[in-house]
Amino acid sequence: MVLSLLSRIAGDRGGNFGLMTAILLPVLVGAAGVAIDVTNALQVKNQLQGLVDSTTLATASAMSDKDMTAAEANAFAKSYFLGQAEQETEDGSQSPAQKAARLKALSDGSTTNASVTNTSGNGRTYNISMTMNYDIALTGLSHVLGLTTMNVSVSSTSQSGREGNALSMYLALDESGSMAWDTTTVNSAQKTKQEAYSCGNRSICYRTVTNYITKMQTLKAAAAAMFSELKIADPQSELIRVGADSYDDQTKAQQAINWGTTDVARYVKNLPDVPDGGTDATGAMTNAFNALKKANTTEASEQAKKKNTSFERFIVLMTDGEMTGNSANWNSSLDTKVRALCKQSKDDGIKIYAIAFMAPDRGKSLLSTCATSSDYYYEPDDMTGLIQSFGEIARKAAKTDTRLTN
């Protein structure tokens, strides 16, 4: 009888359209709602993926920089994630209670797992993984099908490390007169200063001018950043040896290579605040090569005392100018000599990092040739760039790294 009834209904042309519409309409409405919600879910998932990726990268870097424990890293990751999520997922239409509920859901749905593994020597590997499960409220259209929420899940893993790379490094630093010139960076501690000028009748007047950071001040800040990175990589001063020499048109007294960064940091700090003179890096580069060359067994002997059976040798050559000697004009002979010293050093297996800081074209040409490769050449044009360059060189040389691994 039921089959007969259904057969008659199906065959009834009078109300068939209305009946089918009544049957299919909820399904069609629900399908439309699901399509909208799936699109929204994909957007939310991409947003959350970016958040957890940035969180694990920041945490892995912080673990290495601050030598965090696993517990400290987990707490850092949670705090960092919620801070970023509060900004990235902000919805101005939400009430304070709704906002608090959203952040609680994000917090409850996130899980972090940090670990620290000791490797050879002072080496360590830092790992941080994060998973995120978050329920998205669906539109009213999907409610027709009985669907109220959709779960989105993302994960990320990042790793940083200190390989404990033994190295001997020599800095050849420019202290010529142009290093007293201003950069484009304003001194945030004192944004203006009084400048004297002649105002007629042999009188001296003063005017207020912008107080810029000088190149020498920038060099000292950048070198301090480098030494801080090297100290993090070798807190016990058992892997890293550093020395330095500065130059204008004369070669200054050098700081012999020694363990750690204490001596070289003092040397750089004591460079003249208002330097003068021309530019001639031949003496400093000669001293750098002589200190590091294979024929000089001092570094190999000192590294062996710390049971460092292998180590790398680096020169960091920095200038803001071109080779002029004791003049204001470019000296092709000095330029050629520096190029030859760079080649001699590289042929001996010494790696050269070269930094052309706000330098003219001839200075850039010289240093780009001196650098071991394009990865070893830097061309910063402001304070931030120089600090970043010195910091990156330290991390590269000490082989500390942070990367996303998933």
Q: List the structure tokens of 2.
A: 């039921």
Instruction: Output phi, psi for 23, to 5 deg.
Output: -75, -45
Query: Would you say 400 and 233 are in contact if contact means Cβ atoms under 8 Å apart?
Result: yes
Residue 336 has pLDDT above 80, yes or no: yes
Write down all domains in the chain, each with its CATH number in brackets. 2-162 (no CATH), 167-186+214-404 (3.40.50.410)
Residue 33 has pLDDT above 50, yes or no: no
Q: What is the 3-state secondary structure (H, E, C) of 286-345?
A: HHHHHHHCCCCCHHHHHHHHCCCCCCEEEEEEEECCCCCECCCCCCHHHHHHHHHHHHHH
Of 235 and 254, which is predicted with more confidence? 254
Q: How far apart are the first and last CA of the chain?
A: 62
Which amino acid, residue 331? N
For the chain, the maximum distance between any two Cα atoms, rounded to a whole number of angstroms, is 123
Per-residue pLDDT, 241? 98
Query: Would you say 119 and 401 are in contact if contact means Cβ atoms under 8 Å apart?
Result: no
Residue 26 has pLDDT above 60, yes or no: no
Instruction: Output phi, psi for 159, to 5 deg.
Output: -140, 140
* Strand partners for 126: 116, 160
Query: Would you say 53 and 155 are in contact if contact means Cβ atoms under 8 Å apart?
Result: no
Sequence-distant (≥ 6) Cβ neighbours of residue 402 within 8 angstroms: 57, 60, 61, 64, 158, 159, 160
Of 57 and 122, which is predicted with more confidence? 57
Alpha helices in 153-308 (DSSP H): 215-233, 262-269, 282-292, 298-305
Q: What percent of the chain has pLDDT over 70?
A: 82
Residues 294-315, mean pLDDT to the nearest whole number: 94
Most confident of 36-45, 50-59, 235-244: 235-244
Handedness of CA 35, 41, 45, 47 (dihedral sign): positive
Report the predicted TM-score, pTM, of the whole model to 2 decimal places: 0.67
Per-residue pLDDT, 24? 45
